Structure 1
Amino acid sequence: MKEKWRVKLAQALVKSPEKKKDRFKIGYLTKKYALFILPFITCLREGLEAVVFVGGVGIGGQATAFPLPVVVGLIAGITVGALLYYFGSSMSMQIFLIVSTCVLYLISAGLFSRGVWYFQTYKYNQATGGDASENGSGPGTYDINQSVWHVNCCNPETDNGWDVFNALLGWQNSATYGSVISYNVYWIFIICVLLLMVYEEKHGHLPFTKNLTLVQLNPMYHIKGKKKHELNKKQQEELFTKLRQQNFGEVNEEADEASSNKLIEQPVEQVSEKK
């Protein structure tokens, strides 16, 4: 993965369209200004989500329901932004990405398990003729035939506070066979994929195959014809040589040269050979 992004960054810095009018094409601009577009789109999306969620609260609630979540959200956002701004330079990017990825894995595991739980609850509600889980936590509010465990409290549907754990981690006070099995299947799948990625990083291919990688299992890899755009070892070395000789300007020439040398100082360990 590291080598892949080294090549992508080098291509973005070195390659430029032959025709001047091609420099205004969306494909070229998105590659060149990817580091700006990605956080911009992320902030825009989060802002739209905030408007939608606050608007949703306003439709079904009173005006007094606005201040607390808005103020708390602003405080949390400003706090996290300030921490990233002042301590981001001293923080290891690798550690930050690992921690954030693990958090996303936890959230997605909860979403997967919760989706199965809601599907089973829907089937039970159809059989009973009502929203059983919203009527409390006692007998009759859950399907005893599908229950793994049940506690008469901590219901995310009715008890305040537990809905946060439900949204982030998929917590349910009444676990079913489907929700527990799906949660474990999800983590088994993630573990298998990570092991395959580690093996591919060390050997350059998947186990028991010499010319197959994970990316080649993606149908879009073949539909978009990405194979023909891959560079072999010689082409990558030529690319990094061009990057070393690239002139990024006179003002920050020394800094740019140091950055380019840092990008190419490590040898290419994994390459994709062209057939």
Structure 2
Amino acid sequence: MVNVFAVPVFFICFRECLETSIIVSVLLAFLKQTLGPDRDPAVYKKLVRQVWLGIAAGLAICLIVGCGMIGAFYGLRKDVFAPAELLWEGIFGVIASVIITLMGAALLRVSKLQEKWRLKIARAIESKEKPGAKFGQKFKHFSEKYAMFLLPFVTVLREGLEAIVFIGGVGVGMPASSFPLAVICGVLAGVVIGFLIYKGGNRSALQVFLIISTCFLYLVAAGLFSRAVWNFENREWNKIIGGDAAETGSGAGSYDIRQSVWHVNCCNPGINGGGGWGVFNSLLGWQNSATYGSVLSYNLYWLVVIIGFLAMGYNEKKGHWPFMKSKHADGGISRQQSASDSSTAEKVAVQPSTKIHEVHH
């Protein structure tokens, strides 16, 4: 059985593919529900193309890096990428967490302002960069125009590179014949779950889908942020002991007791593919050894999210952000009147039979 199907490799591929499939399926279901091929086909096709291009670009880079790692391993007889593994995992984890958080906050407003968001998305992808714009303005323009490309790209890149490194680690001593079937089954299992989520998202009510998917994405983002901090701390511990702490197992020496909040000598997501604990690690950030940094960062993430939503709610009701002066205070124009005028303008500008491109002209 071991010579044909490597169970640790299956769990690694499954858990890495699962997180990517969930995020991609949520994005595709969101695009189909809000834009759809029967509403704004041109804009819908562009955004779906961005998602798939992001996946393809991430996979391409993973394949290139994977080939480089294999060449370096057999050429130098040494895994030169292992020392930087925790560093790039932490960096990509923070980036993905920030992107998911910002996108989740925007998704919840879509059903309430669906027509407005359709216009906003269309304008964003068709807008051109202003000449002489500063770096911050250029970055904002790029992130808005290619938002549907960035998240799949970062996710696939992070999960793919992580899978390559983990498979390289657990695959030492295993025959080559045990890899193909395990990799294919792991990827297929992750894709099937993502497809089911995509189908379920299409059939459910938009607001229900947005709430459930956003809550789940925030759980993933919180785990990513906490895991990123844990990776940074574990990298420092590796430097102290002069090796890879994961090679010592789950007991003494595998963690820095000075930074430990709690630890269990089991349920390690980094050993032999991690099994179910590896899936929990990928989706929710589970670690069998919690540190001050990982626990504080997890709670800090949720605190920031709560404050952010409270501020958004305040802005929605009062017309300005907390501790900031109202924009309508001096003009004598009430928020209700402004909202009414805006709603009237949108109804005039957007007719059921009018396409997005016609509105722009």
Do these two structures clear the TM 0.5 threshold for a shared fold by scoring above it? Answer: yes
CA change 1:151–1:128 in 2 (3 A) is same
Contact 1:156 1:172 in 2 (8 A): yes
Counterpart among 176, 179, 185 of residue 300 in structure 2: 185
Counterpart among 163, 185, 190 of residue 278 in structure 2: 163
1:35 partnered with 2:149: no
Matches within 5 A, 1:170-209: 170-209=285-324
1:237 partnered with 2:351: no
Unpaired runs of 5+ residues, structure 1, are 1-8, 14-30, 213-230, 250-275
Superposed displacement of residue 75, structure 1: 5.1
Matches within 5 A, 1:1-275: 33-49=42-58, 52=62, 53=160, 56=164, 60=168, 62-74=176-188, 76-78=190-192, 80-81=194-195, 84-85=198-199, 88=201, 90-159=203-272, 160-161=274-275, 162-211=277-326, 234=341, 236-244=343-351, 248=354
Contact 1:110 1:170 in 2 (8 A): yes
Please give the root-mean-square deviation of Cα atoms over the aligned residues, in Å.
3.4
3-state SS of paired residue (2:251)? coil
Please give the alpha-carbon distance, in whole angstroms, between the structure 1 residues aligned to 2:178 and 2:218: 35
Superposed displacement of residue 209, structure 1: 2.5
AA aligned to 1:175 is A
3-state SS of paired residue (1:33)? helix
> Larger deviation: 39-48 or 148-157?
39-48
Contact 1:134 1:157 in 2 (8 A): no
Please give the alpha-carbon distance, in whole angstroms, between the structure 1 residues aligned to 2:219 and 2:238: 28
Contact 1:148 1:177 in 2 (8 A): yes
3-state SS of paired residue (2:350)? helix
AA aligned to 2:184 is V
The one-character-per-residue Cα deviations of 1:33-85 (angstroms, maximum 9, x if unpaired) are 3322222222343355456449948x945253223332443355356536644
Please give the alpha-carbon distance, in whole angstroms, between the structure 2 residues aligned to 1:45 and 1:175: 33
Please give the alpha-carbon distance, in whole angstroms, between the structure 2 residues aligned to 1:149 and 1:75: 33
Superposed displacement of residue 169, structure 1: 1.1
AA aligned to 2:350 is L
Please give the alpha-carbon distance, in whole angstroms, between the structure 2 residues aligned to 1:70 and 1:173: 28
Aligned length: 202
Please give the alpha-carbon distance, in whole angstroms, between the structure 1 residues aligned to 2:43 and 2:248: 49
Please give the alpha-carbon distance, in whole angstroms, between the structure 1 residues aligned to 2:201 and 2:236: 48
Please give the alpha-carbon distance, in whole angstroms, between the structure 1 residues aligned to 2:255 and 2:179: 31
Superposed displacement of residue 150, structure 1: 0.5
TM-score (norm 2): 0.48
Who wins on radius of gyration, i.e. which is larger? Answer: 1
Which structure has more relative contact order (CA 8 Å, sep 6+)? It is 2
The one-character-per-residue Cα deviations of 1:114-144 (angstroms, maximum 9, x if unpaired) are 1111111111121111112331011122111
Contact 2:201 2:209 in 1 (8 A): no
The one-character-per-residue Cα deviations of 1:192-223 (angstroms, maximum 9, x if unpaired) are 001111121222212232337xxxxxxxxxxx
Please give the alpha-carbon distance, in whole angstroms, between the structure 2 residues aligned to 1:89 and 1:163: 29
3-state SS of paired residue (2:324)? coil
Contact 2:263 2:288 in 1 (8 A): yes
Contact 1:132 1:140 in 2 (8 A): yes
The one-character-per-residue Cα deviations of 1:10-42 (angstroms, maximum 9, x if unpaired) are xxx9xxxxxxxxxxxxxxxxx983322222222
Please give the alpha-carbon distance, in whole angstroms, between the structure 2 residues aligned to 1:119 and 1:83: 32
Q: Which residue of 2 aligns with 1:222?
A: none
> Larger deviation: 172-181 or 90-99?
90-99
